[in-house]
């Protein structure tokens, strides 16, 4: 029946969330100030559907269970990175990141058409894993982090072909290493 299907779907999502959050040890999650995960349906900000929200004041990660399954795992890591970045900005300076991009590149930063920012991986990366990464430095870092943690094989292949992404991946890994050293 419908209830059994919903429970199975919820169990699958919970299992997926647990598997991905288990990549981080408890000490690390406490250090970045993540205490709670809230699961919901039909999450939106200003009437725009969103996959997740890091609520920094409440130390909570809010995830939409209804969000596209194809991107769900990446979304978990993407939102975790926003929490990391907020608490460890010194390890992820925007000025350093901005220099990785081509000199004539500017982040759009416009939410006039949020649907234009696809989470689909780009076939021609040219310094970005997804269109959404082109929105802002923070989203670019979060997208890079999400790919590192959920698409390892793909990342290892792409960074051999894309020098910009190679620099971005190294930068994120170094920042994470600095956080680990500070634990």
- pLDDT digit string, tens, across residues 74-108: 999 999 999 999 999 999 999 999 999 999 999 98
Residues 6+ apart with CB under 8 A from 93: none
Confidence of residue 68 (pLDDT cuts 50, 70, 90): confident
d(CA 35, CA 41): 20
d(CA 106, CA 179): 28
Residues written for the chain? 183
Residue 148 three-state SS: helix
Structural contact between residues 96 and 171, judged by C-beta atoms closer than 8 angstroms = yes
pTM equals: 0.88
Q: List b or e across 92-113, with b for residues whose CB sees 16 or more CB atoms inside 10 angstroms.
A: beeeebeebbeeeeeeeeeeee
Judge whether residue 2 has pLDDT over 60: no
- pLDDT digit string, tens, across residues 105-161: 999 876 555 556 788 888 899 999 999 999 999 999 999 999 999 999 999 999 999
Q: Are strands 36-40 and 44-45 parallel, antiparallel or unpaired?
A: unpaired
Q: List b or e across 152-162, with b for residues whose CB sees 16 or more CB atoms inside 10 angstroms.
A: eeebeebbeeb
């Amino acid at each position: 029946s419908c209830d059994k299907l919903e429970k199975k779907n919820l169990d699958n999502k919970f299992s997926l969330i647990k598997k991905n959050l288990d990549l981080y040890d408890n000490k690390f999650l406490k250090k970045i100030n993540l205490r709670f995960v809230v699961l919901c349906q039909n999450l939106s900000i200003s009437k725009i559907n969103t996959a997740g929200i890091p609520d920094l004041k409440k130390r909570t990660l809010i995830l939409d269970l209804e969000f596209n399954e194809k991107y769900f795992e990446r979304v978990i890591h993407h939102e975790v990175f926003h929490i990391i970045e907020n608490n460890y900005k010194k390890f992820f300076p925007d000025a350093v990141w901005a220099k990785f991009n081509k000199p004539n590149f500017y982040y759009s930063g416009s939410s006039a058409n949020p649907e234009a920012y696809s989470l689909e991986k780009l076939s021609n990366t040219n310094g970005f894993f997804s269109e959404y990464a082109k929105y802002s430095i923070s989203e670019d870092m979060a997208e890079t982090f999400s790919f590192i943690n959920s698409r390892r094989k793909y990342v290892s292949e792409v960074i051999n072909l894309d020098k910009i992404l190679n620099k971005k991946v190294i930068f994120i890994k170094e920042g994470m290493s600095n956080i680990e050293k500070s634990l």
